Each structure stands twice: as structure tokens, then as C-alpha cells.
Amino acid sequence: RDATAVMGAYRRATAPGAALRFVFEGASLTLVPGPGAGEIEVSVDEGAPRHFSLDGQPVQLVRGWQQKRHDVVLTAIAGEVSVDALTVQYPWRPSPWLILGTAGLLVAAIYVLMRTLRRR
């Protein structure tokens, strides 16, 4: 347990080759490593593994992918590998209310502009 961890504790690899397998749904995935410095390989959707060095700073593992289910395998390669958090992000999509509100403001602005021009 560690009070500074996002979820109250870190998950640590006990040996090189230790793997974390999970599925996420979204367009990007960021790893927030715990203390220590280590090296990992990450494979997404059975693709070629990518190598990352951990130095305590967040690492973007996946970015700009299709928003769908992705299978991830994170494998400890060397050093002290610990995971504090994994964050998933979705692409920004405007809400229908935002679109309607913007359209309403545009119509109102055009109306005011037309009335102003007619008075001249």
C-alpha cells in the first residue's frame, strides 16, 4: 500500500517476463508508472511489441486508435516495473445540446445583423 498511488497501491512485476493482460475500449491509453525505473514491451491487438523505458512519468501507450475494444499485453523486460494507473481516453464528441445551442446562437446573430443592416 502507498498513499501516493492513484488507487492506494501499486502493482509490481516480480520478475522479467511477468505480464499484465487486459482489454480496454477507447482511442488512447496512458500508463502512469509507479516508483522505480524499468523497461516494458506493449503489444496491442496482437501487433508487434513496442518498447518503453519507464522513468516515473506517464507514458502514452496507444494514441489515435479507433474507439473499439483493444487487447493489450504489457510485459516487464528489465528493472523495477510498477503500475500506478492506466487511463483510457475517448475521442471528444460534441453533445447534441452543444450543437443545437451553437446553431441557435448563429441564427440569433444573423437575425440581429440583418435588423441592424436594414435600419441603415
Return all residues near 92 (Cβ < 8 A) that are at least 6 apart.
none
Contact 78, 17 (CB under 8 A): no
Please state the domain extents for the chain: 11-91
Q: Please state, as a whole number, how many other Cβ atoms lie within 10 Å of the Cβ of residue 7.
A: 10
Place of cell 508487434: 48
Tens digit of each residue's pLDDT (9 = 90 or more) over 32-77: 998 888 999 999 999 999 999 999 899 999 887 677 888 999 999 9
**Amino acid sitting at position 27:** A
Q: What is the mean pLDDT of the chain?
A: 88
pLDDT at site 37: 85
Question: CA nearest 19: which of 62, 60, 73?
Answer: 73
Contact 82, 33 (CB under 8 A): yes
pLDDT over 70 percentage in the chain: 96
pTM of the model: 0.69
CATH class of 11-91: mainly beta
